[in-house]
Amino acid sequence: MADRQLEPDAAVRTRAPAAAHPFREGTTTLMGVLNATPDSFSDGGRFVRGERVDLAGALAAAKELEEGGADVLDVGGESTRPGAEPVSLEVELARVRPVVEALAEATGLPISIDTRKARVAAEAIAAGARVVNDVSGLRTDPELADVAAEAGAWLVVGHMRGTPATMQRAPRFDDVRAEVARELAASIALARERGVPADRIVADPGIGFGKRLEDNLVLIARAGELRRELGVPVLLGPSRKSFLGALTGDPVERRDDATLAVCAVASFLGVDALRVHDAARVRRAVAVGRALAAARPEDAR
């Protein structure tokens, strides 16, 4: 698979592999993070040195996530941490395509491509990806929706104002839940206009993407409302993020306990998917959250 070369138009026409829905009703899908970047906030440089990708390291990380209970592997080649500068198309492709190709050969899990570029999404789908994860909600490159629609891929639309380089410069909301819901609804509408079916769209309110501490807390606590209002599954990505450090005082490498607390609450509230670094520990927290949710009377669910 690694030696297959496709022209851009052929890559766009390639369909995502057919399989069961990666975001299944009645479960909490775990999307395991695989950052093929030197500068992501938590695991940057884990298997990238300069522009060289350590495929053996990436496969080992993927195996650890899969054995820990991840349902989807999310591969990214451009850091979207606060303050991060964009990378070129060529650099991003060089980072992610070999990883996606290797994972497609090595695992049966669905592969997600975390990108804001349509060309990267198209080539990742050609290499074996089935999910496109756009943290900008189609604001950066609306043609991402065209790629997902033509390939039959699932599309995650995230919420972010500005860019990673600018998003944390004095973010402001008057009613964060309502504003995020409205802007996500616009992203969903755009995706549908461009041919992505509603049952292949997932919404991500963008925890840590242009949000204050209090904004992140509101979006997590009211995630169930977002799900009901938007009519699509909701994904949260709280793992090890800076708002947890603001609450606990812990550096990024010590935020797993706080991450587990948020993930347990999110699963209790009915969140459909969680993007995480430590699948094994989160899986156990989710089991507790879902069991507590199931113990509630019907009229309280």
The catalytic residues are 241, 275
Q: What is the spatial distance between Cα 255 and Cα 18, in angstroms, rounded to a whole number?
A: 36
70: Cβ contacts below 8 Å, ≥ 6 apart: 30, 31, 32, 109, 276, 279
- HEC string for 162-227: CCCCCCCCCCCCCCHHHHHHHHHHHHHHHHHHCCCCHHHEEEECCCCCCCCHHHHHHHHHCHHHHH
Decide: 244 and 274 in contact? Cβ < 8 Å.
no
293: Cβ contacts below 8 Å, ≥ 6 apart: 267, 268, 269, 270, 301
Q: What are phi and psi of 93, to 5 degrees?
A: -65, -40
SS3 state at 20: coil
Helix (H) or strand (E) holding 65: helix 55-68
Residue 174 CB-density burial (10 A; 0-12 exposed, 13-18 middle, 19+ buried): exposed
Q: What is the spatial distance between Cα 282 and Cα 99, in angstroms, rounded to a whole number?
A: 24
Residue 138, by phi and psi: left (phi above 0), alpha (psi -120 to 50) or beta? left
Task: Provide the 8-state DSSP code for 108.
Answer: -
Decide: 171 and 161 in contact? Cβ < 8 Å.
yes
Neighbours of 252 (CB within 10 A): 15
Residue 175 CB-density burial (10 A; 0-12 exposed, 13-18 middle, 19+ buried): exposed
